[in-house]
Amino acid sequence: MARIDQQGSAKGVGDPAHTITKEEARAIVTPLYEALNEPLKKDVSALLAQATNPDYRSCSTLTDCRSREALAEAFKAMGKMVPNLRWTIQDVWVLPITSKIGWARLPK
């Protein structure tokens, strides 16, 4: 069961509003970085599956998005161009998640 802290945030394991720790966040993103490091030597698709949901999309703009499998192919293509490609996690920031809805009134 979730509890509400003094700032009004729900806390509780399994609760969608649960704030994760830096260690939990690092564990989530580590497979993504492993997929980037020398990707021709790894099962990039399996690593991305560990770090993302099945419907994951990597978007460079609001309309230009790649599926998880297309991203895996892009990582492999980068590995062909730079065989010793290495990325490291320098730091992980955990920020509270908030929802905001923006809208505009259009002229009639």
Contacts of 83 (CB under 8 A, 6+ apart): 38, 40
Length of the chain: 108
Per-residue pLDDT of the chain (108 residues; tens, 9 = 90+): 333 344 444 444 455 556 788 999 999 999 999 999 999 999 999 999 999 999 999 998 888 999 999 999 999 999 999 999 998 999 998 887 665 555 655 555
Domain count, the chain: 1
4 occurs within a structural domain = no
Does residue 73 fall inside a structural domain?
yes
Domain of residue 45 covers: 21-81
Does residue 52 belong to any structural domain of this protein? yes
Identify whether 13 is part of a domain: no
Give domain status of residue 30, yes or no: yes
Rounded-to-integer distance, Cα 14 and Cα 34, Å = 26
Q: Is residue 34 in a domain?
A: yes
Q: Is 8 contained in some domain?
A: no
Strands (E) across 1-106 are located at 3-4, 10-11, 57-59, 65-67
Contact 59, 16 (CB under 8 A): no
Residue 3 lies in a domain: no
Q: Which residues contact 93 (CB under 8 A, 6 or more apart)?
A: 22
